Amino acid sequence: MKPFLSILFLLVLAWAGNAQPATGSLLIKNGTVLTVTKGTFENTDVLVVDGKIKQIGKNIRTPQGVTEIDATGKFVMPGILDAHSHIALDVVNEATRPVTSDVWVGDALDPLDISIYRALAGGVTTIHAMHGSANAIGGECETIKLRYGTYDPEDLRMQGAPRTIKFALGENPMRSHGEGNGIVPRTRMGVEQVIRRAFSEAQEYMAAKDKYNAVKATDPTALPPTFNRRMETLAEILKGNIIIHCHSYRADEILMLMNVCRDYGVKRLCFQHTNEGFKVAPELAAFGAGASVFADWWAYKFEVYYSTAYNAAIMTKNGVVTSINSDSEELIRHLYHEAAKTQRYGGLTDDEALALITINSAKQLGIDQRVGSLEVGKDGDVAIFNAHPLSVYAIPMMTIVDGIVRFDRAKDADDQRMQVDPEKAETAFFLAQEHKNADHCLEDAFDFANELFGFERE
């Protein structure tokens, strides 16, 4: 047996039981530093102390006890963010009703998922682990850091990251509920009304709660509204405390949700997939909504038939905060390459392209003060490549989270599973079909639908 993450494991032991995940200190020396936001610097060092970037500059003296990493000839960029992922989750969809704002995927994090390690090996340090798209209003999502090596899901959470929730428009909720269960929504008209009703009910719920709170001191007969988790979460959306991340494809439905949000005073909005975002880029920019897209996926269903790989470039050039996501355990392994495609399809600059998988994703998740670029004071999340990360030949060499090396190609052993079947040694072979384009937002919902109606996944 190879020393399985042996150093990491000692660290895991050290922090087990503590509330705060471990941080580390290290000095990355003499690399080409791609800060993304502040320019590119050659032969430059990055000093991380106790998990935070302390200094970026030339010839930084190595503080005592700080490990040096030689990055001569290498490219140092901020850890990559994936604004749309379903890895590290045991549950993706609670598909039993069109509004499930009561559930939260953070309750079912899977810190043992090997995909976490494989994403680290693609330079990814932070992901937005999302609920699926079976419901018009889905569950809350969770922003996590890829601190692989822990059994405790609490260690994965990115403390302080804003709450986010999944919404979904178009075919998926129509299929899950209208076609699948004979209830609204079966059309895009229905999707709108499901959301409007939910928001309105949440307003009523809030009003009842406010009224109760106002009189409870003086009126002993006053009663609060019955506690309702769905309404509690929706109320927080209306108050601006939760960012909506909405699965969407067509331009019309994107416009619809912006109109609905305007009517209810909701401002924090980011569209996911957004294949036809390019058609309404000026409107997205005017609203201030973000758009997180695939680099080039299209044609896997009708609502993505009129797509273009130039989507990210068009939106970027129209001032939309745009990111490129994976929605796939495979694509997440090479988001740097996905971002590079915007140079072929639309001629984005290096910084524009890199922003799509770093600072822009961070903005969409409300964590751009913490991650997404190499700046003093930000988290020590770093990806080191052997070549410029936008080159097809680039290989991620090392990935650092909070100043701790979580992936090191030089020391990488074959078997990186956290959990092993105690009854069976040989691991199962299966040919993943993940390379077939499809959004993975109906995971679980399909199992569910399959069971009930014999739906096939493809």
Partner 1 sequence: MKKALCLLLAWVCLGIQISRAQGGTEEMTPVTHTYALKNVTIIQKPGQVIQKGIVVVKNGLIHAVGPNVAIPANAKVIEGDSMFVYAGFIDGLSQTGIPRPEPAQAGSGRGGQQQRPQGVERGEPSYETAGIMPQQTVREALKPGDRSIDDMRKLGFTAAQVVPNGRMLPGNGSLIMLGSGKTADDYIVKENTSLVATLTTSPGVYPATQIGVISRFEELYRQAQQLQAHTKAYAANPAGMVRPTSDRVLEAFFPVLDGKQPVYFLAPDVKSTARALALQKELGFQMIIAGVRQGWPLADQMKALNKPTFLSLDLPKAKKEDAKPAAAAGGARGGNRPGAEAAPKAEENAKPAEEAKPKDPEMEALEARRAAEMALYEGQAAAMTTKSIPFAFSAMNAKPAEIRENLRRMIKAGLTEDQALAALTTTPANIFGVSAMMGSVEKGKMANLVVTDQPYFNEKSNVRYVFVDGMMYEYEVKAAPKGNPNGSAKVGGRWSYNIAVPGQEAAGVFNFKDEGGNISGTWTSTTMPGENNMAAVTLKGNNLTFSSSIDAGGQSMTLEFDLVFEGNNFSGKVNVGSFGTFDVEGSRLGDPKN
Partner 2 sequence: MKFKFGYITLFLCWAVANSLFAQVEKPVKGTFALTNATIETVTKGTLTGTLLIRDGKIAALGSNVTVPAGATVIDCQGLTLYPGMIDGGTQLGLGEVGSISLTQDADEIGDITPHMEALTAVNPNATAIPVTRVEGVTTVLSVPQNGLLPGTASLINLVGYTPDQMYAGFKGVVLNFPTAGRRGFRDQRTDEELKKETEKALKKLNDIWDQAKFYNEVAMAAQKDASMKPPYNPEMARVAQVLNGEMMLLVEVNKASDIELAIKWTQEKKVPKVAFTGVAEGWRVADQLAKAGIPVITGPVQAMPTRTSDRYDKPYSNAGLMHKAGVKVAIRTDQTENVRNLPFHAGFAAAYGLGKEQALKAVTIVPAEIFGVADKLGSLEVGKNATLFASTGDPLETKTKIMHLFIDGYQIPLDSRHIQLYHEFLNRTPGVRK
Least distance CB 363 / partner 2 (angstroms): 21
Residue 217 binds partner 1 (CB under 8 A)? no
Amino acid sitting at position 242: I
Kindly report the number of other CB atoms within 10 A of residue 239's CB atom: 12
**Stretch of 116-124, 177-185, 310-318, 428-436 lying at the interface with partner 1 (CB under 8 A):** 177-185
Residue 98 binds partner 1 (CB under 8 A)? yes
Instruction: State the residue for tokens 């129509």.
Output: 174
Residue 20 binds partner 1 (CB under 8 A)? no
Kindly report the number of other CB atoms within 10 A of residue 214's CB atom: 11
Least distance CB 304 / partner 2 (angstroms): 9
Residue 1 binds partner 2 (CB under 8 A)? no
Q: Which does 278 bind (CB under 5 to 8 A by kind): partner 1, partner 2, none?
A: partner 2
**Stretch of 24-32, 34-42, 228-236, 274-282 lying at the interface with partner 2 (CB under 8 A):** 274-282
Least distance CB 140 / partner 1 (angstroms): 9
Q: How far apart are the first and last CA of the chain?
A: 39
Residue 97 binds partner 1 (CB under 8 A)? yes
Is the Cβ of residue 37 or residue 181 nearer to partner 1 in the bound state?
A: 181
Element (H, E) at 168: strand 163-168
Structure tokens at 133: 């798209």
Structure tokens at 86: 């379903």
Out of 37, 40, 96, 318, the residue judged to bind partner 1 by CB under 8 A: 96
- Taking the C-alpha atoms of residue 287 and residue 281, their distance in angstroms, rounded to an integer, is 10
Select from 227, 307, 228 the least CA-distant residue to 273: 307
Binding mask 251-280 for partner 1 (x = CB under 8 A): ------------------------------
**Stretch of 69-77, 88-96, 345-353, 429-437 lying at the interface with partner 1 (CB under 8 A):** 88-96
Residue 224 binds partner 1 (CB under 8 A)? yes
Counting every residue, how long is the chain?
458
Whether residue 89 contacts residue 108, with contact meaning beta carbons closer than 8 Å, is answered with yes
Cis peptide bond upstream of 282, omega within 30: no
Is the Cβ of residue 69 or residue 92 nearer to partner 1 in the bound state?
A: 92
Residue 410 binds partner 2 (CB under 8 A)? no
Beta-bridge partner residues of 85: 129
Q: Which does 384 bind (CB under 5 to 8 A by kind): partner 1, partner 2, none?
A: none
Residue 100 binds partner 1 (CB under 8 A)? yes
Instruction: State the residue for tokens 């995927």.
Output: 105
**Stretch of 11-19, 158-166, 398-406, 430-438 lying at the interface with partner 1 (CB under 8 A):** 11-19
- Taking the C-alpha atoms of residue 288 and residue 418, their distance in angstroms, rounded to an integer, is 41
Binding mask 311-350 for partner 2 (x = CB under 8 A): --xx--xx----------xxx-xx--x--xx-xxxx----
Kindly report the number of other CB atoms within 10 A of residue 328's CB atom: 23
Residue 136 binds partner 2 (CB under 8 A)? no
Q: Which does 410 bind (CB under 5 to 8 A by kind): partner 1, partner 2, none?
A: none
- Taking the C-alpha atoms of residue 231 and residue 355, their distance in angstroms, rounded to an integer, is 35
Binding mask 90-129 for partner 2 (x = CB under 8 A): ------------------------x--xx--x--------
Residue 13 binds partner 1 (CB under 8 A)? yes
- Taking the C-alpha atoms of residue 91 and residue 262, their distance in angstroms, rounded to an integer, is 31
Residue 107 binds partner 1 (CB under 8 A)? yes
Whether residue 177 contacts residue 452, with contact meaning beta carbons closer than 8 Å, is answered with no
- Taking the C-alpha atoms of residue 78 and residue 288, their distance in angstroms, rounded to an integer, is 24
Residue 267 binds partner 2 (CB under 8 A)? no
Q: What is the 3-state secondary structure of 319-363?
A: CCCEEECCCCCCHHHHHHHHHHHHHHCCCCCHHHHHHCCCHHHHH
Select from 436, 171, 442 the least CA-distant residue to 298: 436
Least distance CB 217 / partner 2 (angstroms): 49
Select from 238, 322, 231 the least CA-distant residue to 272: 322
Whether residue 58 contacts residue 379, with contact meaning beta carbons closer than 8 Å, is answered with no
Q: Which residues bind partner 2 (CB under 8 A)?
A: 114, 117-118, 121, 171, 278-279, 281-283, 286, 296-302, 305-310, 313-314, 317-318, 329-331, 333-334, 337, 340-341, 343-346, 390-395, 412-417, 427-438, 447, 457-458
The footprint of partner 1 (CB under 8 A) covers 1-4, 6, 9-10, 12-13, 16-17, 90-91, 93-98, 100, 102-105, 107-108, 110, 112, 139, 151-154, 181-183, 220-221, 223-224, 226-229, 414-415, 417, 419-427, 444, 448, 451-452, 454
